[in-house]
Amino acid sequence: MASVKQLKKKVKSLCDNVQNECYVELLFGTSNEVELIWSIMSRCDKLQQETIRKINSKESKRLPAKERRAYFKTLSDSFYSKTMGFINDMNTIIP
């Protein structure tokens, strides 16, 4: 597993990429689904804040090393699957 610092950087980077794609679609796209795009951006922002909060939680720091690895693995898998859901939502919007 990468360090906690690297994990936070990757979370922020992936969320920024999704939000940037949403902005590009809003500015230059032909989609009329403006509310849905804003919804994706809002959900992505909430997911980022929630994931960073879980990474920084004191409970995760108190776990033994093996359980901590499993905790972060589960957290990163969940984050990745939700982010892929946002990307799939964007792909259905873009004509």
* Gap between the Cα atoms of 38 and 11, Å rounded: 19
Structure confidence by residue, pLDDT tens digits, 51-64: 999 999 888 888 89
The CA distance from 83 to 77, in Å, is 10
What is the sign, positive or negative, of the torsion defined by CA atoms of 37, 10, 81, 88?
positive
Check residues 81 and 2 and name the one with the higher pLDDT: 81
CA 75 to chain centre: 11
Percent of the chain with pLDDT over 90: 63
d(C-alpha 81, C-alpha 89), whole Å: 12
pTM: 0.87
C-alpha–C-alpha distance, residues 13 and 26, integer Å: 20
